Structure 1
Amino acid sequence: MRPSLPLLLASSAAALPWGGPHHHQTPMRVELGPRPYYLVDNMDAGPLKDQLAACSEGPFHRSDFVFAHRGAPLQFPEHTREGYAAAARMGAGVIECDVTFTADKQLVCRHSMCDLHSTTDILTRPELAKKCTQGFTPADNQRGIPASANCCTADITLAEFESLCAKMDGVNLNATTLTEYLDGTPRFRTDLYATCGTLMTHKAYIAMVDDLGLKFTSEAKLPAVPMPFNGYTQEQFLSDIIADYKAAGIDASRVWPQSFQFEDIAYWIKTAPDFAEQALFLDPRVSTQEGYINATASLPGLAAQGLKIVAPGFWALTQLDANKKIVPSAYAVAARKAGLDIVTWSFDRSGWLNKGGDSFYQPIHEVINNDGDMYTVLDVLVKQVGIKGLFTDWAATVVYYANCFGL
């Protein structure tokens, strides 16, 4: 039996009828919990720490600057009803659904078409595990061969997808048993709220977010199957994402469609220009030095084709100057010069920062030495780079800053 929705959304209003008629609720009280206070306390002494500390008692309100990346996956299974509810309670103004499709061509929320083996209990369900593209294969540690599996939404129907329980994303590549394989949650996350997360269809996500009075961002994930898929084209997939919003009566001004493929953005510019006004190009080219250089040079051309918002990972937006100060990168400067707005991703996804952080902080790792440096970086992104929004795995972290500085 599925657990009932936690009291994350408790209020004087009746329970929200997700999936049913839209009933816009009175905005809930925002609750941030201890994490922002821990981060502020952990900061190096200075004016920014003093400013943030002075905001400690709020009041705190929802902020459209804050995009809930996959819900609240620092502590909740990603793209679940429970994770979306947690993000809403923490004040995120925009909730994300990464969109892919099932064998019967129905849209669902998953970060990847082929992540069911690491994010759900599908491998423990023999009748569904046998449908996976690849079932569980244990590690051969003597030969250095990792454990593996590959289960995709396109392997199963919508009804089968909805029967799954979500878990925290992660697998143990050294596992020799299925139980060991599924026990792979990163150490900086938790399984405390991962008893049986409720998976979401795209339509159910829209209904829930609309009921909460929040805004939307749907990413068209790159299909892991050859397209067309049984006659289902990439263009139809992109059109169906927009069609779900239109069918629900959602105004385009509340939606930020996304894709890592500029061709997808161009298709929306051509076929759904009102929704394309806020389309986010998740520029993938900035992950290599050569790609970064080419991407920076291409920004005026993308703007000329109708792109309004570029959204690279935040590592691409900062660098160190000669005095080891964090400053806007060449890419950030070029984007603003081209007239492009900037949204970026993803905070609270890097674990502990006392050793310089991971790839998100690579260009500035020399000056990153504690978790509180997250706010130092965020301050540069807001006040110098000029970002318009930030995806985060734990909305409270960014909501605290956003409220403190009126975002």
Structure 2
Amino acid sequence: MTLRICVGFALCVAMSLGQAATVKDRSPHAAPATGGQPEPSVHLGPRPFWLVDDMDDSPLKARLQACNTDSVKKTDFSIGHRGAPLQFPEHTRESYIAAARMGAGILECDVAFTRDRKLVCRHAQDDLHTTTNIVAVPALNAKCTQPFVPADPATGAPAEAECRTSDITLAEFKSLTGKMDAYNPMATTPEEYLTGTADWRTDLYASRGTLMTHKESIELFKALGVKFTPELKSPVVDMPFEGDYSQQDYARQMIQDYIDAGVQPGDVWPQSFNLEDVLYWVNETPRFGRQAVFLDQSAPTPENTSLAYMEVLKAQGVNILAPALWKLLALDNQGQIVPSRYAENAREAGLDLIAWTVERSGPLENGGGWYYQTVTDAINNDGDMLTVIDVLAREVGVIGIFSDWPATTTFYANCMGLAKH
């Protein structure tokens, strides 16, 4: 499916928010479209080209500069991490639509549960105080595990708040508004607490942030013609919740939402940092378990980077491993970015790999921070992100990359012939 580019990103996104309900989806498993609307266009905007211009001179830079972007395809290689939260409030309708408009072929709903055990899209069960306006809603702030407490300028004590999805009902959750994930630790009022967005992000698109249930995300993604990668978030409450809602109930409920919506298992990549969740899907819902993704956040050791460890995962039925991108990369003796031993052993064991997350670190001129920690010495400008993506794609062989701004990974995949959907 070839799509035309719209020039001028901000204008295109504004158009997309009004057109989302009539997007025509040609996916064979999606709900039929109505209204005879054309396929949505892919908007790359200026950022990918700005990144290319910032690259050091290299054959890769020359190839990307010469890339013909007269037509661009959406691609499963480009995964919208929480939507497009570089500039849009994460896990909101607006963020998801923006990510789809940037050509992400797969979108992520991180799944948490409310007090009445309904599934909603949130990165963590306990992040409502930084990702929504809850502390400024007195009746709901009062229900938080830790209602807002102002900072004390005299002592330097920071503000406090902790608000969980499990503190409130679905109806109460839906009454909230999403915001950029940030807070002001020295706030003395709830309104001040809601500020603090990093200066390399923006509040330009945060004037509205429509929160979504997991089921609503499924219907939206179907309408947008994209696929699904829900992540079962680790609860911060004791499980079983209230004595009778177990981890297995939670894992089963997430998959059941796709079954009820008529989504084909081949269009879903369920994820968890908890290996037990992944093995539950492998053994109890095997059609969905074939594409279950084990998110690996463990600190590397000789044991958990070894070929033997990878072979055990494969033997248990795990087919896809997804670590932070730094675990997949290393520097060779010449200071060039190359695949890590972890990556080589995972591929030798027959595991597919997905990397997370690009476009999440802000400016890279000082080495890139946490996500680039194994290759920091090779990172000194924002264009180096495309070099990292290139090594992940062509040398490590990842099947997809999560991005907070999917236009970047969409651009790369189209230029390098990886744009398959």
Q: TM-score, normalised by structure 1?
A: 0.94
Counterpart of 1:23?
Answer: 32
Deviation at 1:350, TM superposition (A): 0.3
Alpha-carbon distance between aligned partners in 1 of 2:292 and 2:208, rounded to the nearest angstrom: 33
Alpha-carbon distance between aligned partners in 2 of 1:170 and 1:41, rounded to the nearest angstrom: 30
Alpha-carbon distance between aligned partners in 1 of 2:378 and 2:70, rounded to the nearest angstrom: 29
- Out of 234, 239, 261, the residue aligned to residue 248 of structure 1 is 261
- Out of 280, 285, 292, the residue aligned to residue 293 of structure 2 is 280
Counterpart of 1:234?
Answer: 247
Deviation at 1:224, TM superposition (A): 1.1
2:162 is the counterpart of 1:154: no
2:399 is the counterpart of 1:388: yes
- Residues paired across the two proteins, number: 396
Alpha-carbon distance between aligned partners in 2 of 1:94 and 1:49, rounded to the nearest angstrom: 27
2:313 is the counterpart of 1:305: no
- Out of 175, 185, 199, the residue aligned to residue 211 of structure 2 is 199
- Counterparts in 2 of 1:85 and 1:75: CA distance versus 1, 3 Å: same
Are 2:158 and 2:185, in contact at CA under 8 Å, matched by a contact in 1?
Answer: yes
Could you tell me which runs of 5 or more consecutive residues in structure 1 were left unpaired when the two chains were aligned.
none
Alpha-carbon distance between aligned partners in 1 of 2:305 and 2:54, rounded to the nearest angstrom: 34
Are 2:20 and 2:224, in contact at CA under 8 Å, matched by a contact in 1?
Answer: no
2:57 is the counterpart of 1:48: no
- What is the CA deviation profile of residues 61-105 of structure 1, one whole-angstrom value per residue up to 9, with x for unaligned ones? 100111100000000000000000000111000000000100000
Are 2:364 and 2:381, in contact at CA under 8 Å, matched by a contact in 1?
Answer: yes
Instruction: State the superposition RMSD in angstroms.
Output: 1.8
Q: How many percent of aligned residue pairs carry the same amino acid? A: 53
The aligned amino acid for 1:243 is Q
- Counterparts in 2 of 1:326 and 1:335: CA distance versus 1, 3 Å: same
Could you tell me which runs of 5 or more consecutive residues in structure 2 were left unpaired when the two chains were aligned.
1-12
SS class of match (1:191): coil
Counterpart of 2:125?
Answer: 113
Are 1:9 and 1:28, in contact at CA under 8 Å, matched by a contact in 2?
Answer: no
For residues 64-103 of structure 1, the aligned pairs below 5 Å read 64-103=76-115
Give runs of ≥4 in structure 1 deviating > 6 Å: none
Alpha-carbon distance between aligned partners in 2 of 1:187 and 1:281, rounded to the nearest angstrom: 33
SS class of match (2:108): strand
2:282 is the counterpart of 1:269: yes
Alpha-carbon distance between aligned partners in 2 of 1:118 and 1:395, rounded to the nearest angstrom: 23
Counterpart of 2:10?
Answer: none
Counterpart of 1:370?
Answer: 381
The aligned amino acid for 1:22 is A
SS class of match (2:32): coil
Are 2:325 and 2:356, in contact at CA under 8 Å, matched by a contact in 1?
Answer: yes
Deviation at 1:295, TM superposition (A): 1.9
- What is the CA deviation profile of residues 174-209 of structure 1, one whole-angstrom value per residue up to 9, with x for unaligned ones? 223322221111111100111120000000000010
Larger displacement relative to structure 2 (139-148 or 229-238): 139-148
- Out of 152, 157, 180, the residue aligned to residue 192 of structure 2 is 180
Alpha-carbon distance between aligned partners in 1 of 2:301 and 2:83, rounded to the nearest angstrom: 29
- Counterparts in 2 of 1:16 and 1:135: CA distance versus 1, 3 Å: farther
Counterpart of 1:294?
Answer: 303
SS class of match (1:319): strand
Deviation at 1:26, TM superposition (A): 4.8
- Counterparts in 2 of 1:369 and 1:56: CA distance versus 1, 3 Å: farther
Are 1:137 and 1:147, in contact at CA under 8 Å, matched by a contact in 2?
Answer: yes
Alpha-carbon distance between aligned partners in 2 of 1:92 and 1:388, rounded to the nearest angstrom: 13
The aligned amino acid for 1:171 is Y
Alpha-carbon distance between aligned partners in 2 of 1:107 and 1:144, rounded to the nearest angstrom: 38
- Out of 333, 337, 343, the residue aligned to residue 354 of structure 2 is 343
Q: TM-score, normalised by structure 2?
A: 0.91
Counterpart of 2:367?
Answer: 356
Alpha-carbon distance between aligned partners in 2 of 1:141 and 1:219, rounded to the nearest angstrom: 39
Alpha-carbon distance between aligned partners in 2 of 1:64 and 1:312, rounded to the nearest angstrom: 18
